[in-house]
Amino acid sequence: MSTWERPTPGVYGSSEGADVRHFLDVDDLTSAELAAVLDVATEFKADHAENGVHDRFDGRTLGMIFQKPSTRTRVSFETGMTQLGGHAIFLGESDIQLGHGEPLRDTSRALSRYVDALMARVFKHANAVELARYADVPVINGLTDDAHPCQTLADLLTIRERHGGFEGVSAAWVGDGNNVAQSFVLGCALTEVDLTVATPAGYGIDDPVVERARELGGDPTVTTDPVEAVTDADVVYTDVWVSMGQEDERDVRMQDFEGFQVNRELLAHAPEASVMHCLPAHRGEEITDDVLERDRAIVWDQAANRLHAQKGLLVWLDEQR
Ligand code: CP
Ligand code: NVA
Beta bridge partners of 90: 64
In this prediction, residue 15 carries a pLDDT of: 61
Number of the ligand 2 atom closest to the C-alpha atom of 239: 1
For residue 78, CA distances in Å to 44, 61, 62, 114 come to: 16, 10, 8, 17
CA of 18 to the centre of ligand 1 (A): 30
Question: What tens digit of pLDDT does each residue of 185-233 get?
Answer: 999 999 999 999 999 999 999 999 999 999 999 999 999 999 999 999 9
| 83 tagged catalytic | no
Maximum Cα–Cα distance across the chain: 55
Cβ of 75 less than 6 Å from ligand 1: no
In this prediction, residue 8 carries a pLDDT of: 79
In this prediction, residue 167 carries a pLDDT of: 97
Question: Does residue 173 register a pLDDT over 70?
Answer: yes
Read off the pLDDT of each residue in 129-154 and give the average, rounded to a whole number: 97
| 188 tagged catalytic | no
Question: What tens digit of pLDDT does each residue of 260-301 get?
Answer: 999 999 999 999 999 999 999 999 999 999 999 998 999 999
Question: Does residue 3 register a pLDDT over 70?
Answer: no
Cβ of 151 less than 6 Å from ligand 1: yes
Q: Dihedral angle at the C-alpha atoms of 140, 146, 152, 153, nearest 10 degrees? A: -10
Cβ of 239 less than 6 Å from ligand 2: yes
Residue of 141, 243, 276, 299 best suited for mutating to test ligand 2, as the one with most atoms within 8 Å of CB: 243
Residue of 73, 121, 150 best suited for mutating to test ligand 1, as the one with most atoms within 8 Å of CB: 73
Q: Return d(Cα 275, Cα 235) in angstroms, integer.
A: 6
Percent of the chain with pLDDT over 90: 93
Q: Return d(Cα 84, Cα 54) in angstroms, integer.
A: 5
Cβ of 147 less than 6 Å from ligand 2: no
Question: Does residue 14 register a pLDDT over 70?
Answer: no
* Averaged pLDDT score across all residues of the chain: 95
- In this prediction, residue 18 has a pLDDT band, given cuts at 50, 70 and 90, of low
Q: Return d(Cα 315, Cα 321) in angstroms, integer.
A: 10
**pTM (predicted TM-score):** 0.97
- In this prediction, residue 12 has a pLDDT band, given cuts at 50, 70 and 90, of confident
Residue of 238, 278, 298 best suited for mutating to test ligand 1, as the one with most atoms within 8 Å of CB: 278
| 121 tagged catalytic | yes
Question: Does residue 10 register a pLDDT over 80?
Answer: no
In this prediction, residue 127 carries a pLDDT of: 96
Q: Which of 67, 151, 182, 302 is catalytic?
A: 151
Q: Dihedral angle at the C-alpha atoms of 129, 118, 240, 268, nearest 10 degrees? A: 100
Please compute Rg for the chain using Cα positions: 19
Q: Which of 25, 194, 206, 239 is catalytic?
A: 239
Give the closest residue to 187 by CA, choosing from 155, 160, 163, 164. Answer: 155
Q: Is the dihedral of CA 132, 307, 320, 217 positive or negative?
A: negative
Read off the pLDDT of each residue in 140-155 and give the average, rounded to a whole number: 98
Q: Find all residues with CB under 8 Å of 140, minimum gap 6, and list them.
A: 22, 23, 117, 118, 119, 120, 150, 310, 313, 314, 317
Residue length, the chain? 321
Edge to edge, what strands does the sheet with 170-174 contain? Answer: 221-223, 194-198, 170-174, 235-238, 274-277
- In this prediction, residue 249 has a pLDDT band, given cuts at 50, 70 and 90, of very high
Question: What tens digit of pLDDT does each residue of 31-84 get?
Answer: 999 999 999 999 999 999 999 999 999 999 999 999 999 999 999 999 999 999
| 19 tagged catalytic | no
Q: Which one of the ligands is nearest to 73 CA?
A: 1
Cα 254 to the center of its chain, rounded Å: 24
In this prediction, residue 143 carries a pLDDT of: 98
